[in-house]
Amino acid sequence: MSKLIELLHKDIRVIEGLKACINCGTCTAICPAAAVSDYDPRMVVDTVQQGNEKELELLLKSDTIWRCGECLSCKTRCPRENVPGYIIQALRALSVETGFFIESKQGQKQLAIKRTVGDHILQYGYCVYIDEVNTDMYPEQGPVWDWLRENKESVMNRLGASYKKDQSGTLRQTSNESLNDLKKIFDETGATERFDKIEEYSRLNAIKMDIPFSKGNDEYFKKMYEE
Amino acid sequence: MKEKIRNQAWEDYQKDIADDNYYFARSCIRQNFFPAAEELFLKIIAKELGKNIFDDAQQTTCTGIAYHSGIIPFETTSTVVARQFSLMNEAGYENFVCSCVTSFGIYSEVLETWKHFPEKEKEAREALLRATGKTFKIPKNLVHTSDLIYKFRKEISEKALLQLTNQQAGLPLKVVDHIGCHYAKIFPEKGIGGAEFPYVLAGMIDEWGGSQVDYPERRHCCGFGFRQYLLKSNRGYSLSNSKMKFDSMQPYHPDLIIANCPGCTFFLDRWQYVISEMEGKTYGENGYGIPVLTYEELAGLLLGYNPWDIGLQVHQVAVEPLLDKLGIKYNPDEKYKGLNGQDLGKPEMPSILKCH
C-alpha cells in the first residue's frame, strides 16, 4: 500500500465508514449536497475503495470533498453500512494534514471557518457568540437581529439571559478556568496543530495570490468567506 | 406474523429516559438566536414538573460545529466531551441532557466510538487527565432536551390551558415537525421512533391535540451543512434545501412548524425571510410566514406563558397568526419592550414578509 492510502486507512472514520461499497448510489440519491451541487458521494467512496494513490491525491486536492454537509443521511440509508459522510471527515483531515486543502478553492475556505467558529470556541467557550454575528456577515439574520443586538442588554435581561455575567445561564461569560481547559485540550489533542497548519498554508497561499494576510477578518479572510 | 402498519413503526424505537436529576448542557446556537428557549426549558422541567436539573457555569460547547466542519479532530471533540462528563460527575449527577441535536449526535458518536474502539476511550481519558487533571465516568443516561418534553408530554397536557386547536374553526392545528438529521439518522436506535418515523415531536403534536402534517420532504435536511452555512459563499446550499421543504409543505397549509434542532429552528425561521426578500414569496397566510417554534416554546404557550417573555419576538417570522388561532390574548405594544416596559423602538419591517 502506498502512503496516502495507508494514512487514510488508519483513520477510525474510514475503518468504520468503509465496508464494501456496491456502488448502488443510494447515498447520492438521499444526499442534500448532491441535490444542490456537483457532488456525488458514490464516486467519492468508489475512489477511496479503488485505492489508487494518484486518484486519491487528486481527490484530496479537489473541491469535491468539501461539498458534503455532514448531515449523515447516507449513514441511515446505505444498505451495506458504509458511511460516505465519515469517509469525507477522514479525507478532509488528511487534506489539511498534507496541505493539499490549499490546492482547491473550497479547501482554502477552511481558514474562514477556523477564524470564526474555531477562534470563538477558545474566546467564548462556544462556537457562536452574539457579539461576533452581524448582518453584514450574516444578512439572513434579518432586521429583528439588528434590533436585538442594538438592545441586547435590555432584551437579554427581559428574557432571563446571563449575557456577559459571571454566573450560570444563557450567554454568560465563560470562566477563564473553562477557557484554559479548552485551550489545553486543543493543545493536547491536535486541534491547535490543525489550526496552525490552516493558518500557515493560508499565509503562504496569500503571498502567492498577492492578498494582504494578517489575522481576524483581514482581506484574505473576506475573500475566503465571501467569494 | 401480522405486518405492522407503517405509521406504528416508530413503536419499535423506544429509549430509556431518566425520571429525574439531570445535568443540563447548553447549545451554542440556541443561546444566541433563541436566547429565552433554554431558560424556558429549565423552568418547565424544574417549576412545572418539579424535577431537579443542574445548570453548570463551568460547561462549554461540545465543539460539534467545528468537528463537522473539519477544523478540529475527533480526538479533540471526544476529550471536550470527556470534560463535560467529568463536570457532570463533579456536580453529583449521572443523567446528561443536552440542548442541541448536533451535540446529541456528538455525545452519542463519542460513546459509540469508545464502545467499538476502547483504545480511543483510553486516549481521551489520558488526554483529559494531562490537560486538566480531570477524570470521568460515562453517564448512566444520555438524552436530548426534547426527549424530556416528550416523556412528560402528558403531564404538560394536564397543566396546559390550551390545546393545539384553531379556536375559531374548532379544528386541530396542522403542525409540521422537523427533527434534525443528527437526532436519529446517525444512530436510529437512540431516537424515539428511529430515523424513519421519529416520534419525539409528533408525540407532542398528538398529545396536545394538533394534527401532524405528512409532506413529501418531511425527513429532508434543513440544509445547515455546517461549513456550507458558515461560509457566506456557500450559503445557497442551506437556503436551497430549506426552500425544497417549504415548497413541499406549503400545499398542506401548515399553521406551525416545530423544530427539534437549534440550527433547523433558525434556518426554517430565517430562510422564510430571505425567500420573501429574494422572490417575493411567503409561505403562511396573508403575507405572513409559517411560524417556527421550538418544542419548549410551544409547551410554554400552551402552559400560558406570555409570548414576549419567552422570546417569541426575536423570531423573524411573526408568531401572531398562531397566537390568534390559538386564541391567546397578547398585547402587541409589549412585544418589543425591554425589562420593566423600557421602550426599545421596533425592528425595521422586511420589504415583503409581514411581521408586526
Per-residue confidence (pLDDT) for residue B11, from 0 to 100:
74
Per-residue confidence (pLDDT) for residue B1, from 0 to 100:
41
Q: What is the pLDDT tens value at each position of chain A, 227 positions in all?
A: 569 999 999 999 999 999 999 999 999 999 999 999 999 999 999 999 999 999 999 999 999 999 999 999 999 999 999 999 999 999 999 999 999 999 999 999 999 999 999 999 999 999 999 999 999 999 999 999 999 999 999 999 999 999 999 999 999 999 999 999 999 999 999 999 999 999 999 999 999 999 999 999 999 999 999 99
Question: Does B136 share its domain with B166?
Answer: no
**Which of A37, A114, A170 lies at the smallest CB-CB distance from B35?**
A170
CB interface of B with A, residues 135-164, below 8 Å: none
Question: Comparing C-alpha atoms, which of A12, A131, A117 is closest to residue B64?
Answer: A117
Residue B331 domain flag: yes
pLDDT tens sequence across B30-47: 999 999 999 999 999 999
> Is A99 in a helix, a strand, or coil?
coil
Per-residue confidence (pLDDT) for residue B14, from 0 to 100:
81
**Which of B76, B116, B225 lies at the smallest CB-CB distance from A190?**
B76
CATH 1.10.1060.10 fits A3-100, yes or no: yes
Question: Comparing C-alpha atoms, which of B277, B230, B242 is closest to residue A226?
Answer: B230
Residue B322 domain flag: yes
Residue B61 belongs to domain spanning: 20-145
Question: Does B184 share its domain with B108?
Answer: no
Question: Does B217 share its domain with B336?
Answer: yes
Question: Does B24 share its domain with B138?
Answer: yes
User: So where are chain A's domains?
Assistant: 3-100
Question: Does B279 share its domain with B174?
Answer: yes
For chain B, what is the domain count?
2
Residue B42 domain flag: yes
- Domain stop point among B145, B177, B192: B145
Residues of chain B whose pLDDT is less than 70?
A: 1-7, 9-10
Answer for the pair A2, A64: CB distance below 8 angstroms, yes or no: no
Per-residue confidence (pLDDT) for residue B243, from 0 to 100:
98
CB of A116 within 8 Å of a chain B CB? The answer is: yes
Question: Does B130 share its domain with B209?
Answer: no
If residue B176 lies in a helix (H) or strand (E), which one and from where to where?
strand B174-178
Question: Does B122 share its domain with B246?
Answer: no
If residue B204 lies in a helix (H) or strand (E), which one and from where to where?
helix B202-207
Question: Does B183 share its domain with B87?
Answer: no
CB of A213 within 8 Å of a chain B CB? The answer is: no
CATH number of the structural domain spanning residue B127:
1.20.1050.140
Question: Does B181 share its domain with B41?
Answer: no
Per-residue confidence (pLDDT) for residue B13, from 0 to 100:
77
Angle at B164 between CA B307 and CA B220, to 5 degrees: 90
Asked if B58 lies within 8 A of A177 by C-beta distance, the reply is yes
Question: Comparing C-alpha atoms, which of B329, B326, B321 is closest to residue B353?
Answer: B321
**Which of B70, B116, B195 lies at the smallest CB-CB distance from A93?**
B70
Q: Is the pTM of this model over 0.90?
A: yes
- B337 beta partners: B343
CB of B352 within 8 Å of a chain A CB? The answer is: no
Which residue is it, cell 464516486? A43
Q: So what's the ipTM on this one?
A: 0.98
Question: Does B141 share its domain with B180?
Answer: no
Question: Does B218 share its domain with B329?
Answer: yes
Question: Does B122 share its domain with B180?
Answer: no
pLDDT tens sequence across B76-118: 999 999 999 999 999 999 999 999 999 999 999 999 999 999 9
Percent of chain A with pLDDT over 90: 99
Residue B45 domain flag: yes
Per-residue confidence (pLDDT) for residue B50, from 0 to 100:
98
